[in-house]
Amino acid sequence: MAKIFPIVVAPLFAIWLLIKGQYMRLFKGIAAFTGVVLLTIIPWLIMDAGSLSSFLTYHMDRGLHAESTYGSFIILGQHFGWTSVEWDFSFGSFNITSGLADNLADASFYIMGLVLIFAYALFTYQLRKQEITKLGTDDTQ
């Protein structure tokens, strides 16, 4: 649970189950997912509830990582003279400091949200298209 990957992938399974009309499997999946998340988080909350907020604060205070996707584009932009970059070694990693880096870091939540909504919509569209095609071929047989 160190990454948010399961939270990003889970809606794909939910969309698939919704389109297939498998509501009970969806409910069981949500219950299992919630159980795993709670089992992962509860020990930390029992030991030190403040550790969760300090974990989030630590990562929010970090700079934009040089090896991140945004960092790569900013470094490329510096190479072409479009922006200037200052390097900073803090929080155990190389981070980029620049106006563009700060703006991208602030906007990254919204950018990722839009990208995920687009990906989920495309996934839903493709699944529905397959279901319609499948229904059409079933009717002709």
Q: What string of DSSP letters covers 66-98? A: TTSHHHHHHHHHHHTTS---EEEEETTEEEEES
Assign residue 90 a region (left: φ > 0; alpha: ψ between -120 and 50; beta: otherwise): beta
pLDDT surpasses 90 at 107: no
Residue 117: the pLDDT is 92
pLDDT surpasses 60 at 1: no
What's the pTM value of the predicted model, to 2 decimals?
0.64
Percentage of the residues of the chain whose pLDDT score is greater than 90: 17
- Residue 140 to residue 91: CA distance in whole angstroms: 62
pLDDT surpasses 50 at 85: yes
Residue 141: the pLDDT is 53
For residue 3, the one-letter residue type is: K
- Residue 85 to residue 98: CA distance in whole angstroms: 5
Domain spans of the chain, in order of start: 1-61, 63-141
Q: Please, how many CA atoms are within 13 Å of residue 130, restricted to the half-sphere of its CB?
A: 9
